[in-house]
Amino acid sequence: MRKIVKYMGLVAGLLASVHIKAQKAAPIVVQVNEIRAPVSPTMYGIFFEDINFAADGGLYAELVKNRSFEFAEPLMGWDIRIRDNADGNLLIINRGPAYDVNPRFARVTVNNDTEVLAITNEGFRGMGIRKGEEYDFSLMAKMQDGKESALTIEILDENDQLLGKTYLTINSMQWRPFHASLVASGTSKKAKLKLSFTKKAVTDVDMISLFPKNTWMGRPGGLRKDLVQMLADLKPGFIRFPGGCIVEGRDLANRYQWKNTVGDISNRKLIMNRWNVEFKNRPAKDYFQSFGLGFYEYFLLADDLGAEPLPILNCGMACQYNSAEVAPLETLDPYIRDALDLVEFANGPVDTHWGKLRAAMGHPAPFHLKMMGVGNEQWGPQYVERYKIFAKAIHDRYPEIKLISSVGPHAGGALFDYLLPEMTALKADIIDEHYYMPPSFFQDNARRYDHYDRNSPKIFAGEYAAHVKGKEGPEKSSWQAALSEAAFMTGLERNADIVVMSSYAPLLAHVDAWQWAPDLVWFDNLQHYGTPSYYVQQLFSNNKGTDVVSIQQAKQVIAGQDSLYATAVIDKVSKELIIKIVNTSSSEKQQDIALEGIRKIGPDMKVVTLRSGDLDAVNSIQSPENLAPVETLVKINGKKFSLVLPPYSFHVLRLNMY
């Protein structure tokens, strides 16, 4: 956030540079002592899905792609010099079903001491390497013929300039890990890793890995620090994982199975990422899930962020847009077992089967799992049948666990209209509404929850983003989208008695490897930026307060009249009043504000503004803060003041209460 800390005598003078001729409207009245509802601590969270290379190639800091040769094409991502001739060869060996989890490895044969066999990994659209930083190289290896082999490890930039070099001797007859470290002498976003076998020998290699040492919390084999920091800065109330459609899989075999994502990384069975083939116009044939970022790491991340973990589990239904495969009801047991065992993995004592694994992985303390999702965007009677069985089994054993249930892929239309009453009748805890709609939908739906039946389940606005037509990729993450999301979010907050959770989706996207846009944070191999929508999320989340209070104009909630949207909360802990106002119109407004039901406020008011006169404005790798919040301190005298709201602007006002 850009901070401009200056005191201004008159609030009406705020942003005076754009104060030309403003129309006057009825005053906005905040009734500070009229508490409408507590704001749930989980009100604003994050939705993580491995889409757009968000996990492998993104948050998971591994730099080597296809490290264990388990991609559909075992040498994808690897360039082999001397593939097979008299001087040497490289063979992919598949040990078959007995080694189901990680069957393949590479056998490198060098027949001649003067020959070199080199294999080079291209990384995920290159590797991000920073000058002066240390990198941990490792691999599993063994000698095949009793002769030691010599390995030269080099990091090269895109022009084959050397950025780091080290050596290893492979001298074990049994598989074992070998480690080396390198310090980079230069920076590159498109670096590669070259391994040269320089001695006459036969060497078996697997799990070839290169990680920056400088990961989030310095954890070996951990997460990309800058990206996790972006998530931490959102102060999320929860983190939903692992998605999204990835939970469902294109068919049931391709579904996300958490048990395959925990334990030693070499025992996590890789599968194709469903986004590999989902969009014909955005194919990603090198998109697989290594599960280096698996359920343990998600729980740990939630812990680090102080966010409630929210795993979503497959309920015996594959993606209904794809195969729509379902598991017959009499075969649901393994799916339900997965759900029950997950609670044990997260919360169980260390002497239970799954609690023991959690402890062995480094976290004997429980993760305090309180909720989980049953299916993602499921619909139809098949979902209701399966939900009932899941809900009974989970609640019988763990009555304290709240369940998130689907109401279909859209928060409207026939699928939704069927499921909402069904879920209400079943007394579902929380329903998960999704909206990927044009900006106008978000502005028009700021009142969506004002008249929702208060006896229906609580609401999780689980996936949403405004989709601007006619834009592609990063250009879609525009100010127009963000501004309309801000307008909509005032409606979520005003209805905090029923809306208890919300998350924008998707979260992360690699600028060179995305499938879906818009997204909240874009990144390349070294840099990242938050979109305007990111800053909207951050401003709501970091200013959520503890209780919603009344804010009205002409005795009406402020939800689009004259293009204004507003909400107000108090923070009982910090003793502050927080007002959020969105102006979606192209004209500037001068707005009187009156605070009632409070003894004294001020004398300073913090005003954070996010605005641009250009609805197409975006941030980018080159200009990451083209549009970012600006903070101003102003003096107010009294409980009535006037604000100038420039066109297309979002403001958060914070005032001390006495």
- Which is the catalytic residue, given 278, 325, 377, 433? 377
Return the biggest CA–CA distance within the chain.
90
DSSP H/E element including 119: strand 117-121
- Cβ-contact 249, 240 below 8 angstroms: no
- Give the CA distances from residue 276 to residues 207, 287, 314, 632, in Å, rounded to whole numbers and listed in that order: 22, 5, 19, 45
Residues 603-632 that bind ligand AHR (CB under 6 A): none
**How far is Cα 651 from Cα 344, in angstroms, rounded to an integer?**
44
| Residue 532 in the binding site for ligand AHR (CB under 6 A) | no
254 backbone φψ class: left, alpha, beta (φ>0; ψ -120 to 50): alpha
Residue from 103, 292, 409, 629 that binds ligand AHR (CB under 6 A)?
A: 409
- Cβ-contact 537, 234 below 8 angstroms: yes
- Cβ-contact 575, 601 below 8 angstroms: no
Kindly state the smallest distance separating residue 381's Cβ from ligand AHR, in Å.
20
Place of tokens 């890793």: 193
Nearer to ligand AHR, 469 or 599 (CB): 469
Q: Token pair for residue 353?
A: 């089967």
Query: Based on the number of CB atoms within 10 Å of its own CB, is 290 exposed (0-12), middle (13-18) or buried (19 or more)?
Result: buried
Residue from 123, 474, 506, 518 that binds ligand AHR (CB under 6 A)?
A: 506
Q: Which residues contact 41 (CB under 8 A, 6 or more apart)?
A: 237, 308
Number of other CB atoms surrounding residue 96 within 10 Å = 9
Q: Which residues contact 17 (CB under 8 A, 6 or more apart)?
A: none
Kindly state the smallest distance separating residue 533's Cβ from ligand AHR, in Å.
13
Residue nearest to ligand AHR (CB): 244
Kindly state the smallest distance separating residue 299's Cβ from ligand AHR, in Å.
21
- Give the CA distances from residue 517 to residues 53, 473, 481, 531, in Å, rounded to whole numbers and listed in that order: 13, 5, 12, 11
Q: Token pair for residue 351?
A: 């002497």
Amino acid letter, 73:
E
DSSP state, residue 39: P
* Sign of the torsion formed by the C-alpha atoms of 272, 274, 275 and 280: positive
Nearer to ligand AHR, 49 or 576 (CB): 49
Nearer to ligand AHR, 367 or 441 (CB): 441
**How far is Cα 164 from Cα 174, in angstroms, rounded to an integer?**
28
CA angle 238, 295, 292 (to 5 degrees): 120
Nearer to ligand AHR, 99 or 321 (CB): 321
Residue from 66, 376, 405, 632 that binds ligand AHR (CB under 6 A)?
A: 376
Kindly state the smallest distance separating residue 125's Cβ from ligand AHR, in Å.
21
Residues 84-123 that bind ligand AHR (CB under 6 A): none
Number of other CB atoms surrounding residue 264 within 10 Å = 11
Kindly state the smallest distance separating residue 246's Cβ from ligand AHR, in Å.
6
Kindly state the smallest distance separating residue 245's Cβ from ligand AHR, in Å.
4
Q: Could you give the 3-state DSSP secondary structure of residue 94?
A: strand
Nearer to ligand AHR, 178 or 275 (CB): 275
Kindly state the smallest distance separating residue 247's Cβ from ligand AHR, in Å.
8
Q: Which among 79, 161, 159, 91 has a CA at the least distance from the CA of 118?
A: 79
Nearer to ligand AHR, 7 or 321 (CB): 321
Judging by DSSP bridges, how do beta strands 576-583 and 2-4 pair with one another? unpaired
Kindly state the smallest distance separating residue 616's Cβ from ligand AHR, in Å.
23
Amino acid letter, 581:
I
Nearer to ligand AHR, 58 or 222 (CB): 58
Residues 219-248 that bind ligand AHR (CB under 6 A): 243-245
Kindly state the smallest distance separating residue 346's Cβ from ligand AHR, in Å.
22
> What x/- string results for residues 31 through 50 when contact with ligand AHR is judged by CB under 6 A?
------------------x-
- Cβ-contact 442, 485 below 8 angstroms: yes
Number of other CB atoms surrounding residue 646 within 10 Å = 21
Q: Which among 56, 436, 70 has a CA at the least distance from the CA of 244?
A: 436
Nearer to ligand AHR, 44 or 197 (CB): 44
> What x/- string results for residues 413 through 452 when contact with ligand AHR is judged by CB under 6 A?
----------------------------------------
| Residue 463 in the binding site for ligand AHR (CB under 6 A) | yes
**Total residues at interface with ligand AHR (CB under 6 A):** 12
Nearer to ligand AHR, 204 or 463 (CB): 463
Nearer to ligand AHR, 197 or 291 (CB): 291
Number of other CB atoms surrounding residue 186 within 10 Å = 16
Kindly state the smallest distance separating residue 49's Cβ from ligand AHR, in Å.
5
**How far is Cα 11 from Cα 16, in angstroms, rounded to an integer?**
9
Nearer to ligand AHR, 103 or 243 (CB): 243
Q: Token pair for residue 445?
A: 């739906």
Q: Token pair for residue 510?
A: 């690699």
Amino acid letter, 561:
Q
Angle between helices 381-397 and 414-425 (to 10 degrees): 30
3-state helix, strand, coil in the chain (%, to 5): 20, 35, 45
Nearer to ligand AHR, 125 or 240 (CB): 240
Kindly state the smallest distance separating residue 536's Cβ from ligand AHR, in Å.
17
Kindly state the smallest distance separating residue 542's Cβ from ligand AHR, in Å.
23
- Cβ-contact 227, 34 below 8 angstroms: no
| Residue 516 in the binding site for ligand AHR (CB under 6 A) | yes
**How far is Cα 580 from Cα 487, in angstroms, rounded to an integer?**
10
Residue 297 falls in the annotated catalytic set: no
List the catalytic residues.
377
Residues lying near ligand AHR in the complex (CB under 6 A): 49, 51, 243-245, 376-377, 409, 463, 505-506, 516
